[in-house]
């Protein structure tokens, strides 16, 4: 059984084309910019079987076209890799494109099996140095780079994604390092910047916890455009 936080039946920002997005419950990271703290608790969420979810996905197959399909997001979907493999295997057998949106912070045999039925990975490179990771994620950067190395060896098409947070990673130096990471891994065919936002503060308030980045401003469109031009 998969622990599911929520479902978006016709998503357009979680991978190519129109996608059925399954947000899985549970995450072991504590990113200061996290927009979905309600996905952290592994004991929460609704239990659904791979077969049950596949039936829902298949209802929307006609909307996917040639580019769309299913995306597993979270939370951290790799924490449920064994069950996720069963779901994506069913989708692959039915000709549905598969995508996994992940932090790349888990690697084991179940994850390798899941990646064997994954057509694209959206890899969240949160920072480009170890200090940034340890200070703002509570994790090290090296396992994430090693995860990307595995994707490269397996030739799995990969999109690098990064949330742009003013004062933390909105520098030319960060973009230059991200370009180095991109250029040294042939599997990476695109990079996407996502603007940091604070609409999640209500969730933190409802959970009775502080949002760590409440004092940091959201990036302007001009700032985002400038960084995109550096790619």
The C-alpha atoms of residue 96 and residue 77 are separated, in whole angstroms, by: 18
Query: Given this model, what pLDDT does residue 75 score?
Result: 95
Q: How much is the pLDDT for 48? A: 98
Structural domains in the chain?
2-230 (3.20.20.70)
User: Residues of the chain whose pLDDT is less than 70?
Assistant: none
Q: What pLDDT is recorded for position 158?
A: 98
Query: How far is Cα 101 from Cα 125, in angstroms, rounded to an integer?
Result: 11
| DSSP secondary structure letters along 56-116 | HHHHTHHHHTTT-EEEEESS-GGGGHHHHHHHHHHHHHTT-EEEEEE-S---SHHHHHHHT
| pLDDT at res. 43 | 92
For position 57, what pLDDT does the model report? 98
Query: 54-72: per-residue pLDDT in tens?
Result: 999 999 999 999 899 999 9
pLDDT for res 170: 95
Length of the chain: 231
Q: What is the pLDDT of residue 23?
A: 98
Find, among 16, 18, 21, 24, the residue nearest to 71 by Cα: 21
pLDDT value of position 196? 96
C-alpha 75/C-alpha 4 separation (Å) is 9
- Residue 114's pLDDT is 98
Q: How far is CA 183 from the centre of its chain?
A: 20
Query: To which H or E segment does residue 6 belong?
Result: strand 2-11
Nearest in space to 144 (alpha carbons), one of 168, 125, 119: 125
The structure's pTM equals: 0.96
For the segment 80-106, what is each residue's pLDDT rounded down to a tens digit? Answer: 999 999 999 999 999 999 999 999 999
């Amino acid at each position: 059984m998969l622990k599911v936080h929520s479902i978006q039946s016709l998503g357009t920002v979680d991978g190519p084309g129109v996608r059925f997005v399954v947000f899985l419950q549970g995450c072991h990271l504590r990113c200061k910019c996290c927009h979905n703290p309600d996905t952290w608790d592994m004991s929460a969420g609704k239990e659904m079987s791979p077969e049950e979810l596949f039936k829902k996905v298949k209802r929307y197959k006609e909307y996917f076209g040639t580019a769309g399909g299913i995306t597993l997001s979270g939370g951290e979907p790799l924490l449920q890799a064994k069950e996720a493999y069963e779901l994506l295997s069913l989708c692959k057998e039915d000709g549905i494109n598969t995508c996994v949106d992940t932090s790349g912070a888990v690697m084991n045999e179940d994850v390798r099996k899941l990646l064997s039925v994954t057509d694209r990975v959206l890899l969240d490179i949160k920072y480009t140095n170890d200090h940034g990771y340890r200070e703002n994620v509570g994790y090290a950067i090296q396992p994430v780079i090693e995860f990307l190395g595995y994707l490269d060896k397996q030739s799995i098409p990969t999109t690098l994604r990064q949330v742009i947070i003013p004062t933390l990673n909105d520098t030319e130096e960060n973009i230059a390092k991200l370009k180095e990471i991109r250029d040294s891994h042939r599997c990476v065919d695109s990079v996407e910047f996502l603007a940091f936002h604070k609409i999640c503060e209500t969730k933190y308030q409802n959970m009775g916890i502080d949002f760590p980045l409440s004092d940091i401003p959201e990036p302007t469109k001009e700032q985002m455009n400038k960084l995109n031009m550096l790619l």
